[in-house]
Amino acid sequence: MTTPEPADRILARASLAEGNPTGWFEQLYTAAARGEAEVPWTRGEPNADLAARVRPGEGRRALVVGCALGDDAELLSAHGWAVTGFDVAPTAVEAARARFPESEVDYVVADLLNPPGEWAHAFDLVVEIINIQAMPREFRPAAVQSLASFLAPGGTAIVSEVAEENVDMTHWQGPPWPFSRTDVESVAQHGVRLVSLETIRDGARYWATFTR
């Protein structure tokens, strides 16, 4: 007997076959809301790597890319950041607002591949954790360019993705599409420079920081 394929993989395959890199996220969140699927990355708590490294925001602006159900955005808000969290899936954004009705986070539906122009150079902290790797590689340069554009002078961008160097890529089928070190370093563009790049979780993920 074979194990049934999880809903996220079935939806992703169909969406990608239609040339749509992100449509399956909304489909997955709505299926989960109906109790018909699980969203594998939702934990009900903030990312532990981010929680271990978060610094006081003192009112500065933070942007959480692919904020999903809001846990990382709320973590930063609790540490004094003025947070905008965005996700391409409207159902995720609605769920985040519903989970945290008293929240000071500005939850927004937006696409990293076509972000609002007013976000350019606007954020003192930009957090990108395992979102860009969830889109096929051909979308990576545009996504990375958007990500770099958000960072304000003197700010910090955090980028954490699955590390390709520790994955057997022979028969690998995304999502996700892991990052190489060169992929991570490509965030250093248009005035953004790499500050640190390490592996975490026993080499499974990269954790990189950038500034402008």
Ligand X SMILES: C[S@@+](CC[C@H](N)C(=O)[O-])C[C@H]1O[C@@H](n2cnc3c(N)ncnc32)[C@H](O)[C@@H]1O
Q: Which residue is nearest to ligand X (CB)?
A: 66
Q: x-or-dash pattern for ligand X, window 132-161, by CB under 6 A?
A: --xx--------------------------
For residue 193, the Cα-to-chain-centroid distance in whole angstroms is 20
Compare residues 111 and 185 and give the one whose CB is closer to ligand X. Answer: 111
Between strands 106-109 and 82-87, the pairing is: parallel
Q: x-or-dash pattern for ligand X, window 29-68, by CB under 6 A?
A: ------------x-----x------------------x-x
Compare residues 131 and 186 and give the one whose CB is closer to ligand X. Answer: 131
DSSP 173-189: -PSS-PBPHHHHHTT--
∠ at Cα 5 (86, 39), nearest 5°?
Answer: 25
Give me the sign of the Cα torsion angle 99, 125, 186, 141: positive
Tokens of 69: 């159900």
Residues 6+ apart with CB under 8 A from 211: 151, 154, 155, 156, 157, 192, 193, 195
Compare residues 110 and 152 and give the one whose CB is closer to ligand X. Answer: 110
Compare residues 99 and 193 and give the one whose CB is closer to ligand X. Answer: 99
Residue 92 interacts with ligand X (CB under 6 A): yes or no: yes
Residue 184 interacts with ligand X (CB under 6 A): yes or no: no
Residue 22 interacts with ligand X (CB under 6 A): yes or no: yes
Binding site for ligand X (CB under 6 A): 22, 25, 41, 47, 66, 68, 87-89, 92, 111-113, 129-131, 134-135
